[in-house]
Amino acid sequence: MLVITDSETFIKQYIRGAMSECELCIQFIYGRAAIYMNENTNLRIVLAILVVGLAWSVFSPLPVVAKVRSHLSVKNKKLSVGQEYTLKMKGISAKDKKKGRKVRWKVSNKSVILIKGKKDFSITLRARKTGNVKVTGIYRGKKYTCKIKVKDDGAGEQKPKEQTDTNENQSNIHMNASEINMYFISDVDKKHLSESEKHIYSYQFKVEGIKKSTEIKWSIESDEKVSCFKVDNGRVYMWRSPGYEENHEDAFVVASLSDGTWVKAKLHGYSERNEAVKNIVNGFVNDKLTSDMTEYEKLDAIASYVSLNYEYQLYQSDWITMALGGSGDCFSSRCFVRYLCQAAGIKAVICVGEGLDGMTLAKADGKLYVVMTGFRDAQPRKYRVYEPTEESLQSIVSRSHIDLAYFD
């Protein structure tokens, strides 16, 4: 027998009885020794090593790595009034973390559950009063829901006071308004929309029942990292629009007095552009889509509507401005298609990447389709709805980082 590396030492130990066949086999399994046969090889030793090695390889446990899908830490949770809880998104790959992906969080009723803080993959909640709430995490186009029930069993912290009251029993100190609905309209939107006489676009808050010499510090209190509201010496206004899907933002304007007391008023912020676009989207669904149409027919009607009624405008990538003004680029088109599909009850995601201009991936009647709205064409633009090949689909999914689990 001819051996290399440490084999000679191990074989001698085995022959002397200082090492068992199993121990010898381990050395070969982990590559610490190797066997080469020649005319003088002891066949009994070789066979013994091979038999033990085969048995070891069959019965020894091998590590199995399972792919873990993203999921919430819990799907149902019970909280007491005043209790805090951190809900987490689990199963996030290191690759997604490196790419900076984040979870978008939504709370169905913020009067029951207060958002204390948000991180990339978690949200900290505080129970304010009894009720039922749905907390939704949106990650890579898929929604994950946790149902939370808040009960008042006397446990936890003390229930917070009404936010519109002062923090002391001083009934003579109050705001000139306890609750305001406010709207935002940008200069760009004013090209297509007009301000409504019924809507408030800024409001001057005042604290009444205090001495003129009392100093006031004004601030905005909101669950959002960056609030839509700003305050300047009591004048509250909106500097941006709430997101289209969020629809509105709730906040408080806070007046902190120099004697340590404070008073708050509720704010509800809305967007003129969002309201107008929702009317356009809902009008299309009600006028152009019928209950007897298949999902594919609805998909075709959506693609036709966007391509035939809207012009191409280079570098105009805001789909809401496109819906209002009648023109946009290929990015606007695919976003517009996606939100029309959403209103029609069809799941769809936009495709991004080189060679994917104007593409939206949608599921209709159990099949995946690519919706391609024309770009750089004169109105009426061409459009196409087709079922991609498996190879083409995988290429689109890979380049656009689409999670097909969203369509399940």
> pLDDT digit string (tens) for 380-400?
778 899 999 999 999 999 999
> 295 pLDDT band (50/70/90 cuts)?
very high
pLDDT over threshold 50, residue 253: yes
Residues 215 and 294 in one domain: no
- Reading the block at residue 130, the tokens are 């009894």
For residues 174 and 20, the model is more confident at 174
pTM: 0.57
Residue 159 lies in a domain: no
Distance of alpha carbon 243 from alpha carbon 257, whole angstroms: 33
Residue 233 lies in a domain: yes
CATH of the domain at 325: 3.10.620.30
Distance of alpha carbon 140 from alpha carbon 100, whole angstroms: 12
> b/e for 181-198, b at 16 or more Cβ within 10 A?
ebbbbbeebeeeeeeeee
Into how many domains does the chain fold? 4
Residues 94 and 144 in one domain: yes
For residues 95 and 276, the model is more confident at 276
pLDDT digits (tens, 9 = 90+) for 108-124: 888 788 887 788 888 98
Residue 283 lies in a domain: no
Residues 300 and 210 in one domain: no
Distance of alpha carbon 128 from alpha carbon 161, whole angstroms: 10
For tokens 């159990």, name the residue.
366
pLDDT over threshold 80, residue 18: no
CATH of the domain at 181: 2.60.40.60
For tokens 């008073």, name the residue.
263
Residues 94 and 128 in one domain: yes
Inter-residue contact 371 to 337 (CB < 8 Å): yes
Residue 168 lies in a domain: no
Residue 385 lies in a domain: yes
User: Which burial class, exposed, middle or buried, applies to 277 when counting CB atoms under 10 A from its CB (0-12, 13-18, 19+)?
Assistant: buried
CATH of the domain at 115: 2.60.40.1080
Residues 143 and 179 in one domain: no
Average pLDDT over residues 205-217: 91
What is the span of the domain harbouring residue 221? 174-274
Residue 18 lies in a domain: yes
Residues 299 and 378 in one domain: yes
| Residue 16: predicted pLDDT | 52
| Residue 153: predicted pLDDT | 59
| Residue 103 CA: distances (Å) to CA of 41, 99, 100 | 64, 13, 10
Beta bridge partners of 328: 312
Residues 300 and 402 in one domain: yes
For residues 149 and 31, the model is more confident at 149
Distance of alpha carbon 151 from alpha carbon 131, whole angstroms: 7
- What phi-psi label fits residue 87: left (phi over 0), alpha (psi between -120 and 50 degrees) or beta? beta
Quote the mean pLDDT of the chain: 80
Residue 169 lies in a domain: no
Residues 321 and 403 in one domain: yes
Distance of alpha carbon 365 from alpha carbon 335, whole angstroms: 21
Residues 369 and 328 in one domain: yes
**Which of 305, 328, 318, 309 is closest to 375 using CA atoms?**
328
Distance of alpha carbon 398 from alpha carbon 369, whole angstroms: 16
Q: Which helix (H) or strand (E) holds 380?
A: none
For residues 386 and 33, the model is more confident at 386
pLDDT digits (tens, 9 = 90+) for 129-145: 888 999 999 888 888 99
**Concatenated DSSP letters for 104-165?**
EEEES-TTTEEEEEE-SSEEEEEE-SSEEEEEEEEETTEEEEEEEEEE-SS-SSPPPPPTTS
Task: Please name the residues in contact with 44: beta carbons below 8 A apart, sequence gap of 6 or more.
Answer: none
For residues 5 and 70, the model is more confident at 70
Residues 295 and 373 in one domain: yes
| Residue 36: predicted pLDDT | 41
